[in-house]
């Protein structure tokens, strides 16, 4: 038993006056691992219970060491649906539902939160959660802008929080490829072709009347005001710049993240980003300091081209193991997060790694939108020599919302 | 950008033959030849130096602003397409104007937009323009934006404030300060404070600091929040002062910003003072996470005392402080690590375990001696943590120690096993293999195999064959052996794998076949990938030959292709059937034509069906050598040959990978089929995700309307509706 964790349960039980502790969960509701003592459970909340948020919540519910105690969403139907799922899982009515995430973060009995909101909320809620002493699992795309991503990293470090990003595909989808590439099966990697969707753009959805049970102002949060449209609540906000980076960040989070990891570039960034121009530049191109080039496009999800072959394709085999990061604990990226909550190791998709991957996506979007190349300093995280482009590294927030 | 054109021009000059009439005599001396070449070289250099700076494939003339009024008229058009076109056109112009050389036009464009705003625009237009000014506005936009911030419309006011916030000029800053000073209400004040915080200009620190004096708690908090974004001792001091004066509840709210602010102070001469503020927070706060946040800032600032502070934190009751201390381990110097580990024996077992875990996970080499010592600790928690840590830091020298733990209890055995699998030292493989050789059976043998498999020790593959695990009477052992060979096997193991196929079930044979395919896929020469399999064919027993052919087909490659083709003409119906199966297994579309022939003329219905399914599988693969139109034609042909709905559905499903307008035509024709309509709808909607296709072919709109109204699948209806909205 991890006594560190046990101390916290006893301590919080003593100080959480006025907050009722969830009842004992019957062992029949727990996983095959069997009974997990209450002192070892990680009390979690899900903030953002749309389609993806609920799906992740269900994944966490499958871990016997998790106790889901709260769900939150500004759309009543979404959070009531999530509440029902949780209560059915545990055979109790102990989970509570909330409209406003700030009430969730005020609860001292919550150890960690899972953020499944649209992208424009990820930074604010992650930072607030860190400052409230919660560990965070944040779905991808982890950030909406470069500066927001860096603010998330700072908050995690300043508050000694475990913050994991949510790309389960880096290690999940690409089989043995990371090991082969990292291990040198194709020699030095010269080019990587990454397939992902388009950048986001403006939203031209017409106005609809706001139905009962939707807190539209809260859904918008820091994003610029626009009239309500139901499509945005159905997970279909991705094409629109105010809420997301489009396919570039949606699948880019996975595939650029995977490509960076496999090539060992996941702790740095490109130095030049060149959009296609219909002339001598056919594809969005990223150039790294070591000469490696990433391109957006191609017929494969990700294609690596090295001095000694290609993956996918015929390449020399690499049978031996490679020294590289992997998930800790069991249960994929979710289990990795839970393991790290207990041991305080940094998770596989630590927020710094997630931020680096998202930065590649964001820079690509900026280059596309502006139609011109960018020079980037991955250490200082500044665009060099283009002040106008530099204004895209962050977004002013609406009303009283602000990063800290 | 690539001076390609310049090089071409220069090369042309350089190698262009001399004109027929030259000022030089026909027979040139060597000196004259050299002179001529030098002349040409200088011309080339001149051309390049003139062309290089100005050839920029991204450069263009500044876009014209002439159409602004025309576009403006449609920014709020009720016709969504007109609105989108107008906004997109203008937006593209504006984004291009961000280049430095287009500054004059940028100013002009912004002036035009500001003039429009000043005369009043519909809400959608105004918000669109404000978003653009947010991105590209400058000094010329400030006056207009300032007026709009005070407008009655909340959305416009907010948009104008966001735009001002994002204009990096002194006049924008001054406008915000003026707005702050003339703020009509608390909410407005907070919004402007946030704007100043966003801008992070050092000159705003004093302005923000005065807002800390506000009697309104929310304003004070916003000011503190904004100030906390700066790496500034004056900012931290201002918040500190406000915190000390604030009543209890407000102090609790301010303290978080104080901690952030003090932690940001990074200049060497200022950190001591910042640390004293953190100390005051730490000593004065009762909230555990607040104390811990302050403490983590102190770790970096108290020099040699940081270890004492860490140890104190680790031993206290506050789990947040413990976590802060553990998080700081990553930042420790070698000397600090040694100092920390010297305190380990005095700590409670649980804490020792936590520290050992994090030291190992962070690969802190200086902690290795302490970890080694802890491996013999009498407390199991500590021992297990130390054993686990060896997985990150250990070497072959620790192998025996870890092997000895395999005799321990479950937790200890699991930790030792895990560490043995992780230690990144090839010598560990040799030591484990030696131990394995001495064991014939039993749990420990299985454990060692598992460890060696996790380590990807290549020699383990030999063991699986030599020690006959592959031929074991125990199915679990055979399965394990097959799995190991799948990952680690080489071509020399293929004969044994085939031999093993003779006495196992069909399910196991499939697993073995996959292993052989994987091994062969690692052969560098693509043409000869199947060679190890083909080499066995001649002398193989008859009952093995179909397997060999089938596997060869799955592997592919020129040699296999030639061999299989030769067997298609075999007089033995079994061999011919096996060859057809092999072709149907082929990994790409190289044999599409033959497959079509078989689909049409195959001897049996089963062969024809297999061929149809194979065509559907391969023709749309990313590696396909057929053009999209050819792929579509092949699938159309195949559809005509299909006799069962399962095959037709498969074809309709696969065709969705072909992004052509003509694919829609093909799929559309099945929307009325009772048995195929569902699949047709799914493929149609999948194809419709390609925006260029939707925009190029208006008839797709009708298809989407039909699906959005009639499909029984809710998700398909929703997706169709979404695409329709984008028209």
Write out pLDDT tens, residues B450-508: 999 999 999 999 999 999 999 999 999 999 999 999 999 999 999 999 989 888 998 99
Query: What is the reported pLDDT for A234?
Result: 85
Average the pLDDT over B595-602 and give the result. 96
Q: DSSP code of B469?
A: G
pLDDT, tens digit, for every residue of A116-142?
999 999 999 999 999 999 999 999 999
pLDDT, tens digit, for every residue of A74-96?
999 999 999 999 999 999 999 99
Residues 379-408 of B with CB under 8 A from A: 381
Residue from A108, A135, A404 to probe the interface with B (highest B Cβ count within 10 Å): A404
pLDDT, tens digit, for every residue of B638-654?
999 999 999 999 999 99
* Chain A residues whose beta carbon lies within 8 Å of the beta carbon of residue B424: 321, 323
Separation of alpha carbons B508 and B503, rounded Å: 10
Instruction: Tell me if B47 sits within 8 A of B9, measured CB to CB.
Output: yes
The Cα of B135 is separated from the nearest Cα of chain A by a number of Å equal to 7
Q: How confident is the model at residue A249 (pLDDT cuts 50, 70, 90)?
A: very high
Query: What is the reported pLDDT for B215?
Result: 94
What whole-number percentage of chain A has pLDDT above 90? 79
Q: Does B158 touch chain A (CB under 8 A)?
A: yes
Separation of alpha carbons B323 and A4, rounded Å: 9
Q: Does A198 touch chain B (CB under 8 A)?
A: yes
Task: Select the residue of A131, A231, A403 nearest B725 (Cβ to Cβ).
Answer: A231
pLDDT, tens digit, for every residue of B391-406?
999 999 999 999 999 9
Query: What is the reported pLDDT for B46?
Result: 63
The CA-atom distances, in angstroms, between A175 and each of A171, B29, B128, B480, B491 are: 7, 68, 45, 19, 22
pLDDT, tens digit, for every residue of B124-148?
999 999 999 999 999 999 999 999 9
Q: Which two tokens stand for residue A274?
A: 């060149």
Residues 235-264 of A with CB under 8 A from B: 236, 239
Question: Given the DSSP bridges, would you call strands A135-138 and A112-115 parallel, antiparallel or unpaired?
Answer: parallel
Q: Decide: helix, strand or coil at residue B615.
A: helix
Separation of alpha carbons A6 and A337, rounded Å: 18
* Chain A residues whose beta carbon lies within 8 Å of the beta carbon of residue B159: 224-225
Residues 151-190 of A with CB under 8 A from B: 157-160
Average pLDDT over chain B reads 90
Ranges A375-384, B493-502, B561-570, most confident: A375-384
Q: Count of A–B CB contacts within 8 Å?
A: 198
Q: Does A325 touch chain B (CB under 8 A)?
A: no
Taking CB atoms and an 8 Å limit, are B524 and A315 in contact across chains? yes
Residues 97-126 of B with CB under 8 A from A: 98-100
The CA-atom distances, in angstroms, between B14 and each of B40, B50, B392, B512, B602 are: 6, 16, 62, 64, 64
Quick one: chain B helix, strand, coil %, rounded to 5? 75, 0, 25
Q: What ipTM was predicted for this assembly?
A: 0.88
Strands (DSSP E) along A153-274, which ranges?
A: 163-164, 189-194, 272-274
The Cα of B592 is separated from the nearest Cα of chain A by a number of Å equal to 20
Taking CB atoms and an 8 Å limit, are B194 and A401 in contact across chains? yes
Element (H, E) at B618: helix B605-618
Separation of alpha carbons B258 and A112, rounded Å: 24
Query: What is the reported pLDDT for A174?
Result: 82
The Cα of A301 is separated from the nearest Cα of chain B by a number of Å equal to 10
Instruction: Tell me if B286 sits within 8 A of A154, measured CB to CB.
Output: no
* Chain A residues whose beta carbon lies within 8 Å of the beta carbon of residue B297: 158
Instruction: Tell me if B723 sits within 8 A of B691, measured CB to CB.
Output: no
Query: What is the reported pLDDT for A386?
Result: 94
The CA-atom distances, in angstroms, between A87 and each of A22, A35, B129 are: 12, 18, 48
Separation of alpha carbons B95 and B345, rounded Å: 63
Lowest mean pLDDT segment, chosen from A277-291, B55-69, B679-693: B55-69
**Residue A320: exposure state from Cβ atoms within 10 A (0-12, 13-18, ≥19):** middle
Q: Decide: helix, strand or coil at residue A151.
A: helix
Average the pLDDT over B701-717 and give the result. 92
How does DSSP assign B15-42, residue by residue? HSPPPSS-SS-SS--HHHHHHHHHHHHH
Query: What is the reported pLDDT for A55?
Result: 94
How many Cα neighbours within 13 Å face the side chain of B437? 9
The CA-atom distances, in angstroms, between B346 and each of A103, B351, B368, B382 are: 41, 10, 18, 12
Taking CB atoms and an 8 Å limit, are A11 and B322 in contact across chains? no
Instruction: Tell me if A118 sits within 8 A of A367, measured CB to CB.
Output: no
How many Cβ atoms from other residues are within 10 Å of residue B631's Cβ?
A: 24
pLDDT value at B283 more than 80: yes
Average the pLDDT over B108-119 and give the result. 95
* Chain A residues whose beta carbon lies within 8 Å of the beta carbon of residue B299: none
Q: Which two tokens stand for residue A215?
A: 């807190």
* Chain A residues whose beta carbon lies within 8 Å of the beta carbon of residue B381: 3
Sign of CA dihedral B486, B491, B492, B497: positive
Q: Closest-CA residue in chain B for A341?
A: B323
**Residue given tokens 């047709």 in the structure block:** B680
The Cα of A283 is separated from the nearest Cα of chain B by a number of Å equal to 13
pLDDT value at A20 more than 50: no
Average the pLDDT over A201-205 and give the result. 91
Q: Which of B300, B289, B307 is nearest to B331 (CA)?
A: B300
The CA-atom distances, in angstroms, between A10 and each of A14, A68, A107, B354 are: 6, 18, 16, 18
Average the pLDDT over A215-239 and give the result. 94
Query: What is the reported pLDDT for B44?
Result: 63
The Cα of B319 is separated from the nearest Cα of chain A by a number of Å equal to 5
Residues 218-247 of B with CB under 8 A from A: 222, 225-226, 228-229
Q: Does A208 touch chain B (CB under 8 A)?
A: no
pLDDT, tens digit, for every residue of A176-190?
899 999 999 999 999
Average the pLDDT over A227-254 and give the result. 94
How does DSSP assign B541-559, residue by residue? -GGGHHHHHHHHHHH--HH
pLDDT value at B287 more than 90: no
Q: Does A231 touch chain B (CB under 8 A)?
A: yes
Q: Closest-CA residue in chain B for A401?
A: B194
* Chain A residues whose beta carbon lies within 8 Å of the beta carbon of residue B1: 280-281
Separation of alpha carbons B652 and B664, rounded Å: 11
Task: Select the residue of B83, B317, B525 nearest A11 (Cβ to Cβ).
Answer: B317
Separation of alpha carbons B576 and B482, rounded Å: 29
How does DSSP assign A38-98, residue by residue? GGG-EEEEEE--SHHHHHHHHHHHTSTTEEEEEEE-SBHHHHHHHHHHHHHHHTSS--EEE
pLDDT value at A17 more than 70: no
Q: Closest-CA residue in chain A for B489?
A: A319
Taking CB atoms and an 8 Å limit, are A160 and B323 in contact across chains? yes
* Chain B residues whose beta carbon lies within 8 Å of the beta carbon of residue A401: 194
Widest pairwise Cα distance in chain A: 68
Query: What is the reported pLDDT for A170?
Result: 83
Q: Does B567 touch chain A (CB under 8 A)?
A: no
Q: Which two tokens stand for residue B683?
A: 């493929």
Separation of alpha carbons A32 and A15, rounded Å: 32
Q: Does B718 touch chain A (CB under 8 A)?
A: yes
Helix/strand/coil (H/E/C) assignment for every residue in A194-207: ECCCCECECCCCCC
Average the pLDDT over A110-120 and give the result. 98
Q: Closest-CA residue in chain B for A348?
A: B361
* Chain A residues whose beta carbon lies within 8 Å of the beta carbon of residue B526: 314
Separation of alpha carbons B366 and B186, rounded Å: 55
Those residues whose C-beta lies under 8 Å from the C-beta of residue B646, and which sit 6 or more positions away, are none
Q: Closest-CA residue in chain A for B226?
A: A404
Separation of alpha carbons B197 and B145, rounded Å: 19
**Residue given tokens 């102990």 in the structure block:** A94
Taking CB atoms and an 8 Å limit, are B358 and A343 in contact across chains? yes
Q: In what order do the strands lie in the sheet with A374-377?
A: A309-311, A302-306, A189-194, A293-296, A285-287, A272-274, A374-377, A382-383
pLDDT, tens digit, for every residue of B215-261?
999 999 999 999 999 999 999 999 999 999 999 899 999 999 999 99
* Chain A residues whose beta carbon lies within 8 Å of the beta carbon of residue B523: 314
Instruction: Tell me if A336 sits within 8 A of A164, measured CB to CB.
Output: yes
Taking CB atoms and an 8 Å limit, are A370 and B191 in contact across chains? no
- Cis ω before A141 (30° cut-off from 0): yes
Task: Select the residue of B349, B357, B424 nearest A343 (Cβ to Cβ).
Answer: B357
> B115-120, long-range: CB within 8 Å, 24+ apart, which pairs?
B116/B72, B117/B144, B117/B148, B118/B144, B118/B147
Taking CB atoms and an 8 Å limit, are B358 and A389 in contact across chains? no
Query: What is the reported pLDDT for B392?
Result: 95
The Cα of B171 is separated from the nearest Cα of chain A by a number of Å equal to 17
* Chain B residues whose beta carbon lies within 8 Å of the beta carbon of residue A160: 292-293, 296, 320, 323-324, 326-328
The Cα of A176 is separated from the nearest Cα of chain B by a number of Å equal to 10
Q: Decide: helix, strand or coil at residue B351.
A: helix
Quick one: chain A helix, strand, coil %, rounded to 5? 40, 15, 45
* Chain B residues whose beta carbon lies within 8 Å of the beta carbon of residue A400: 187, 190-191, 194, 222
Average the pLDDT over A271-275 and give the result. 98
Taking CB atoms and an 8 Å limit, are A344 and B358 in contact across chains? yes
Taking CB atoms and an 8 Å limit, are B722 and A231 in contact across chains? yes
Query: What is the reported pLDDT for A4?
Result: 31
What whole-number percentage of chain B has pLDDT above 70? 93
Instruction: Tell me if A203 sits within 8 A of B124, measured CB to CB.
Output: no
Q: How confident is the model at residue A38 (pLDDT cuts 50, 70, 90)?
A: low
The CA-atom distances, in angstroms, between A335 and each of A42, A137, A256, A347 are: 12, 11, 23, 10
Question: Given the DSSP bridges, would you call strands A285-287 and A309-311 parallel, antiparallel or unpaired?
Answer: unpaired
Query: What is the reported pLDDT for B286?
Result: 84
**Residue A67: exposure state from Cβ atoms within 10 A (0-12, 13-18, ≥19):** buried
Those residues whose C-beta lies under 8 Å from the C-beta of residue B122, and which sit 6 or more positions away, are B75, B76
For chain A, the first-to-last Cα distance in angstroms comes to 37
Task: Please name every residue paired with A89 in a beta bridge, in sequence order, or none if there are none.
Answer: none
**Residue given tokens 């290089």 in the structure block:** B52
Query: What is the reported pLDDT for A314?
Result: 67
* Chain A residues whose beta carbon lies within 8 Å of the beta carbon of residue B559: none
Average the pLDDT over B422-439 and give the result. 95
């Amino acid at each position: 038993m991890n006594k560190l964790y046990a101390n916290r349960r006893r301590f919080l039980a003593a100080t959480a006056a006025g907050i009722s502790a969830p009842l004992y969960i019957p062992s029949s509701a727990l996983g095959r691992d069997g009974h997990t003592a209450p002192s070892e459970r990680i009390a979690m909340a899900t903030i953002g219970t749309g389609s993806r948020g609920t799906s992740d919540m269900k994944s966490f519910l499958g871990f016997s060491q998790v106790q889901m105690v709260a769900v939150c969403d500004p759309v009543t139907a979404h959070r009531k649906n999530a509440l029902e799922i949780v209560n059915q899982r545990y055979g109790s009515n102990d989970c509570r539902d909330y409209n406003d995430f700030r009430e969730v973060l005020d609860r001292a009995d919550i150890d960690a939160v899972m953020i499944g909101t649209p992208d424009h909320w990820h930074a604010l809620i992650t930072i607030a959660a860190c400052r409230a002493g919660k560990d965070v699992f944040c779905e991808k795309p982890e950030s909406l802008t470069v500066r927001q991503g860096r603010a998330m990293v700072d908050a995690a470090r300043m508050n000694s929080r475990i913050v994991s990003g949510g790309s389960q595909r880096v290690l999940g989808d690409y089989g043995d490829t990371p090991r082969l590439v990292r291990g040198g099966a194709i020699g030095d990697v010269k080019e990587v072709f990454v397939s992902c969707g388009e950048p986001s753009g403006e939203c031209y959805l017409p106005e609809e009347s706001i139905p009962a049970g939707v807190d539209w102002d809260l859904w918008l949060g820091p994003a610029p005001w626009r009239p309500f449209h139901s499509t945005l609540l159905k997970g279909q906000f991705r094409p629109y710049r105010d809420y997301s980076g489009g396919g570039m960040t949606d699948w880019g989070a996975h595939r650029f993240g995977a490509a960076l990891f496999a090539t060992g570039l996941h702790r740095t960034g490109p130095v030049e980003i060149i959009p296609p121009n219909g002339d001598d530049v056919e594809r969005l191109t990223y150039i790294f300091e070591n000469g490696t080039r990433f391109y957006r496009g191609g017929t494969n999800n990700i294609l690596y081209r090295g001095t000694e072959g290609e993956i996918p394709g015929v390449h020399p085999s690499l049978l031996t193991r490679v020294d590289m990061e992997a998930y800790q604990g069991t249960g994929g990226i979710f289990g990795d997060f839970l393991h790290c909550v207990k041991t305080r190791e940094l998770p596989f998709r630590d927020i710094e790694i997630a931020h680096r991957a998202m930065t590649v996506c964001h820079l690509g979007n900026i280059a596309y939108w502006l139609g011109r190349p960018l020079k980037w300093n991955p250490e200082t995280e500044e665009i060099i020599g283009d002040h106008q482009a530099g204004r895209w590294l962050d977004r002013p927030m609406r009303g009283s919302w602000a990063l800290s | 950008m690539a001076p390609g054109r310049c090089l071409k021009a220069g090369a042309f000059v350089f190698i262009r033959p001399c004109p027929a009439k030259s000022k030089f005599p026909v027979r040139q001396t060597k000196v004259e030849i050299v002179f001529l070449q030098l002349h040409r070289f200088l011309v080339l250099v001149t051309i390049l130096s003139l062309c290089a700076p100005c050839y920029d494939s991204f450069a263009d003339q500044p876009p014209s602003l002439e159409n602004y009024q025309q576009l403006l008229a449609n920014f709020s058009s009720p016709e969504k397409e007109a609105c989108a076109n107008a906004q997109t056109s203008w937006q593209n112009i504006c984004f291009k104007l961000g280049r430095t050389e287009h500054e004059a036009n940028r100013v002009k464009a912004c002036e035009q937009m500001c003039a429009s705003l000043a005369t009043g625009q519909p809400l959608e237009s105004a918000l669109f323009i404000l978003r653009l000014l947010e991105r590209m506005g400058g000094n010329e936009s400030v006056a207009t934006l300032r007026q709009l911030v005070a407008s009655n419309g909340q959305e416009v006011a907010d948009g104008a404030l966001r735009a001002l916030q994002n204009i990096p000029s002194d006049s924008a800053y001054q406008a915000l300060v003026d707005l702050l000073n003339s703020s009509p209400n608390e909410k407005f004040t907070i919004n402007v404070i946030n704007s100043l915080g966003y801008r992070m200009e050092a000159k705003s620190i004093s302005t923000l600091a005065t807002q800390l004096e506000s009697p309104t708690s929310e304003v004070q908090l916003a000011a503190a929040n904004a100030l906390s974004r700066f790496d500034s001792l004056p900012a931290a001091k201002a918040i500190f002062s406000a915190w000390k004066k604030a009543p209890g509840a407000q102090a609790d709210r301010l303290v978080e910003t104080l901690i952030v602010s003090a932690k940001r102070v990074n200049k060497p001469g200022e950190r001591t003072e910042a640390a004293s503020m953190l100390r005051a927070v730490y000593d004065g706060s009762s909230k555990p996470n607040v104390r811990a946040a302050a403490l983590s800032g102190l770790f970096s600032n108290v020099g040699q005392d940081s270890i004492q502070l860490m140890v104190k934190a680790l031993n206290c009751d506050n789990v947040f402080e413990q976590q802060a201390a553990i998080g700081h381990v990553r930042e420790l110097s070698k000397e600090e690590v040694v100092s920390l580990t010297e305190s380990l024996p005095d700590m409670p077992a649980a804490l020792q375990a936590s520290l050992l875990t994090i030291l190992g996970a962070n690969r802190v080499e200086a902690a290795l001696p302490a970890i080694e010592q802890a491996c013999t600790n009498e407390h199991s928690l500590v021992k297990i943590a130390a054993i686990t840590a060896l997985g990150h830091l250990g070497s072959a020298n620790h192998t025996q120690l870890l092997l000895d733990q395999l005799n321990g209890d479950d937790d200890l055995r699991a930790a030792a096993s895990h560490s043995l699998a992780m230690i990144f030292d090839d010598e560990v493989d040799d030591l484990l293999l030696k131990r394995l050789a001495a064991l014939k059976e039993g749990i420990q043998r299985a454990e060692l195999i598992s460890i060696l498999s996790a380590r990807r020790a290549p020699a383990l593959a030999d063991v699986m064959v030599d020690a006959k695990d592959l031929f074991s009477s125990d199915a679990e052992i055979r399965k394990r052996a097959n799995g190991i060979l799948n990952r680690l096997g080489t071509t020399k193991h293929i004969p044994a794998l085939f031999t093993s196929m003779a006495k196992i079930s069909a399910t196991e044979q499939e697993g073995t076949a996959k292993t052989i395919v994987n091994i062969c896929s690692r052969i560098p020469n693509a043409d000869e990938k199947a060679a190890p399999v083909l080499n066995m064919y001649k002398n193989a027993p008859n009952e093995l030959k179909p397997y060999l052919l089938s596997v060869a087909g799955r592997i592919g490659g020129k040699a296999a292709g030639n061999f299989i083709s030769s067997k298609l003409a075999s007089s033995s119906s079994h061999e011919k059937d096996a060859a057809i199966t092999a072709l149907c297994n082929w990994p790409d579309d190289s044999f599409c034509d033959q497959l079509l022939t078989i689909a049409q003329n195959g001897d049996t219905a089963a062969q024809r069906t297999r061929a149809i399914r194979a065509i559907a599988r391969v023709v749309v693969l990313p590696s396909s050598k057929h053009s999209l139109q050819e792929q579509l034609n092949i699938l159309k042909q195949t559809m005509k040959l299909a006799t069962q709905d399962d095959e037709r559905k498969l074809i309709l499903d696969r065709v969705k990978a072909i992004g052509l307008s003509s694919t829609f035509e093909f799929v559309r024709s099945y929307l009325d089929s009772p048995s195929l309509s569902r699949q047709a709808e799914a493929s149609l909607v999948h194809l419709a995700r390609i925006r260029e296709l939707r925009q190029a072919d208006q008839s797709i709109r009708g298809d989407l309307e039909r699906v959005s109204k009639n499909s029984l699948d809710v998700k398909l209806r929703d997706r169709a509706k979404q695409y329709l909205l984008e028209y």
